[in-house]
Amino acid sequence: MAEPARTSAQRTRLPLAVEGLVDKKTAGKQEGNALTMKGSLVITGGSRGIGAATAILAASRGYKVCLGYLRNEVAAAGVVAEISRAGGQAIAVAADVGDEAQVAAMFDRAETELGPLCGLVNNAGILESQAVFSAIDVARFYRLLRTNLIGPFICAKEALRRMSTARGGAGGAIVNVSSVAARTGAPFEYVDYAASKGALDSLTAGLAREAAPVGVRVNLVRPGFIYTEMHAAGGEPDRVDRLANTIPMARGGKPDEVARAIVWLLSDSASYAVGTTIGVTGGI
Ligand code: NAP
C-alpha cells in the first residue's frame, strides 16, 4: 500500500525533529548561504593565489572582506573589483604582517569600514630560491620566519584581542595556512620554509586550546602543490607540473580548492572543529 503523502512540515521535521541532533540556531544555515551577512574578515596575502581565491569565495558567502597585501596594489585592487562586481563588500589594505603597527592599523580599518571582526585567515607566506640546507644563511631564515611565523603570530594576537568573548567580543574563527612542507621538510628546496610552517602548526595547536574557551576557533589548512605564483618566487614557475607525478591524484591543486576548506573552517558548519588540520594535497 502506498504511504500517505507527507505535509511539507512533516518532511522538514524528518530527521531534524530528532531532539538534540540538530542545533536550532545553525540548522539550515550552511556555509554556502550567501543570504546570511557576516562580520568583517581579514585575509592576509589576499591579493594573489590562495588568499585571493579565499577572499572571493568568502565575499560570496556574505563576509565583508579586508584583504591585506604587501606591495602588489594592482592585484589587490583587482580582487576588490571582482568582489564588488559580484555584489560583495571588500577593501584592500597594504600591511606587512611582520610589522605590528601596520597590522593593528589594518584591523582598525577592517572594523571601522566593514564592521566587527568575525574572522582571520593567516595566509600571507613567502619562500625564497630553491637551495640545499647548507646554502641557506641566517639572514634568509630570519626573513622567512618574520613573514611566515611572526606575521601570523602578530595577526592572531590582534584578532584574538578583538574577537575574544572575555574582552567583550562576539567570538570568531582563525584559519592558519600551513603547508604539506611542514610534514615533508622540503629537502633540497626549502628546509627553512618547511620549518617556518612546522612552527606555525605548533602555534596553531597551542593557540587553538587557549582561544576555544573565549569563543575563538583556531584551525589549520595544509595545502599541497597549488598553482600560484609562489613557485616562480622559488625560481621554478612550473614546479607544480614537474611534481604532478608524485601526487596520488596526478595533478596540482587550484587555489579555489584550498579556499573551500578555509571558508568551511571559518563557517558555522565547522562549529565544533578546533585545533584540527585539513590537508588539501591531492593525497600526498
Ligand atoms: P602567492 O601567490 O605567492 O601570494 C602571496 C601573498 O602573500 C601575496 O598576496 C603577497 O602580497 C602576500 N605577502 C607576502 N609577504 C607579505 C607580507 N610580509 N605581508 C603581507 N602580505 C604578504 O602565495 P600562495 O601560493 O597563494 O600561498 C598562500 C599561502 O599558502 C602561503 O602561506 C603559502 O606558504 C601557502 N602554501 C602555498 C602552496 C602552493 O603550492 N602555492 C603550498 C602550500 C602552502 P603581494 O601581492 O603584495 O606581494
- pLDDT tens digits, one per residue of 170-224: 999 999 999 999 999 999 999 999 999 999 999 999 999 999 999 999 999 999 9
Residue 20 falls within a domain, yes or no?
A: no
Residue 33 falls within a domain, yes or no?
A: yes
CA distance 164 to 140: 35
- Residue 232: its pLDDT value, please? 95
Q: Which of 43, 103, 121, 126 to mutate to test the pocket of ligand 1 (most atoms within 8 A of CB)?
A: 126
Residue 22 falls within a domain, yes or no?
A: no
Residue 270, by phi and psi: left (phi above 0), alpha (psi -120 to 50) or beta?
alpha
Residue 77: all three cell numbers together: 585592487
CA distance 128 to 156: 24
CA distance 198 to 214: 25
Residue 1 falls within a domain, yes or no?
A: no
CA distance 27 to 22: 6
Residue 129: all three cell numbers together: 630560491
Residue 218 falls within a domain, yes or no?
A: yes
| CATH number, position 201 | 3.40.50.720
Q: Which of 110, 88, 139 is closest to 43 using CA atoms? A: 110
**Residues whose beta carbon lies within 6 Å of some atom of ligand 1:** 44-45, 47-51, 68-72, 75, 96-98, 123-126, 147, 151, 177, 179, 223, 225-226, 228-230, 233
Q: How much distance in Å is there from the Cα of 45 to the middle of ligand 1?
A: 5
For 38, the domain range is 8-13+27-280
Q: Distances in Å between the alpha carbon of 260 and those of 32, 40, 206, 219?
A: 10, 18, 24, 14
Residue 145 falls within a domain, yes or no?
A: yes
Close Cβ partners of 71 (under 8 Å, ≥ 6 residues apart): 94
- Residue 5: its pLDDT value, please? 44
Q: Which of 230, 239, 241 to mutate to test the pocket of ligand 1 (most atoms within 8 A of CB)?
A: 230
Residue 104: all three cell numbers together: 593593528
172-177 and 40-43 strand pairing = unpaired
Residue 2 falls within a domain, yes or no?
A: no
pTM above 0.75, yes or no: yes
Residues in the chain with pLDDT values less than 50 = 1-24, 26-35
> Phi/psi at 158 (nearest 5 deg)?
-60, -45
Q: Distances in Å between the alpha carbon of 94 and those of 75, 143, 154?
A: 12, 18, 15
- Residue 37: its pLDDT value, please? 80
CA distance 202 to 69: 25
Residue 171 falls within a domain, yes or no?
A: yes
- Residue 170: its pLDDT value, please? 97
- Residue 26: its pLDDT value, please? 44
Domain count, the chain: 1
138-145 vs 191-211: helix axis angle to the nearest 10?
30
- Residue 11: its pLDDT value, please? 39
